[in-house]
Amino acid sequence: MTLLGAAQIRELAAQLDLKPSKSLGQNFVIDSNVCTKIVRTAGVQSDDICLEIGPGLGSLTLAILENAKEVIAVEIDSRLAQQLPITVAQYFDHPENLTVINQDALKINELPAAPTVLVANLPYNVSVPVLLHLLEKFPSIRSGVVMVQAEVADRLAAKPGGKEYGIPSVKAAWWAEVKNVGTVSRSIFWPAPNVDSKLVGFTRRPTPGNEEMRVKVFTIIDNAFAQRRKMLRSALSGLYGSSSAAEQILMKAGIDPTLRGEALEIQGFCKIAAVAPDIF
């Protein structure tokens, strides 16, 4: 199968009179080797139903189609969503393996089939909310690889203690084991963004609690990192009424109240939620 390179991307863009939108994070991959590498890193198998967010002009889509059973591609830009099946029919023998959904990925709550793997070059401005939304809504996704801004990748994969560790790291850890799996140069995009990118790999693991617990834990995380230099007893004082009430909850959970949120793994936040009252 032919994958899309710089010449084909240029041709498609000219045909569509496409002016890449910055707000939609439209930076298209023009190096087919990178697409092949992403699909290989994700370990896509011939029985996988792959979810792709933001297929754009189809560079990565074609590389996934070559390996997966099916691809469900969710694209917000209607011009791109309309063009994609045409491009795929031109370059791939089984265009019926692709379903394109013209929608905002953040609003997707159901899909025509249960995806098993996520592979995407995510739109940079919404990469974290999109990833968390998909992990929440589609439990059938067992693993995936997403390309995101290098700085965001470092935050998603961070472990407690460092300055990168924060809300994205802990919330992602609720759902999955997350790690950096590669670096991508800015020169493989058109237009070239002014930051480098990284590949983030994840493998789902059993969640530490049910949905009610998750909501509670995520509220505690949001508060703990709202002013990240604050000790937990003070950061959680708004949530539990006072700093002494927060201190009591933390002690009951076996967590030192003078620690900062950045010192706790997801399990620490779960311990707090387990003894804390429900807040609505």
* CA pseudo-torsion sign 124, 130, 135, 138: negative
In the complex, least distance from residue 114 CB atom to ligand SAM, rounded to whole angstroms: 19
**Which CB atom, from 18 or from 217, has the smaller least distance to ligand SAM?**
18
User: Does 60 interact with ligand SAM (rule: CB under 6 A)?
Assistant: yes
The Cα 145–Cα 203 span in angstroms is 9
Position among 6, 106, 245, 259 found at the interface with ligand SAM (CB under 6 A): 106
The Cα 166–Cα 247 span in angstroms is 21
| Stretch of 56-64, 176-184, 231-239, 242-250 lying at the interface with ligand SAM (CB under 6 A) | 56-64
Angular region, 200: left φ>0, alpha ψ -120 to 50, beta rest: beta
Position among 80, 167, 184, 270 found at the interface with ligand SAM (CB under 6 A): 80
Position among 77, 154, 247, 262 found at the interface with ligand SAM (CB under 6 A): 77
Position among 6, 10, 13, 24 found at the interface with ligand SAM (CB under 6 A): 24
Residue spans of alpha helices (H) in 106-240: 127-137, 150-157, 167-175, 211-226, 232-235, 237-240
User: Does 27 interact with ligand SAM (rule: CB under 6 A)?
Assistant: yes
Phi, psi (deg, nearest 5) at residue 227: -130, 90
Question: How many of the chain's residues bind ligand SAM (CB under 6 A)?
Answer: 24
In the complex, least distance from residue 59 CB atom to ligand SAM, rounded to whole angstroms: 4
The Cα 241–Cα 57 span in angstroms is 51
In the complex, least distance from residue 172 CB atom to ligand SAM, rounded to whole angstroms: 18
Count of beta carbons in the 10 Å neighbourhood of residue 1: 10
The Cα 277–Cα 240 span in angstroms is 8
Position among 51, 54, 144, 172 found at the interface with ligand SAM (CB under 6 A): 54
Question: Which parts of this chain interact with ligand SAM (CB under 6 A)?
Answer: 24-29, 53-57, 59-60, 74-77, 80, 104-106, 121, 123, 126
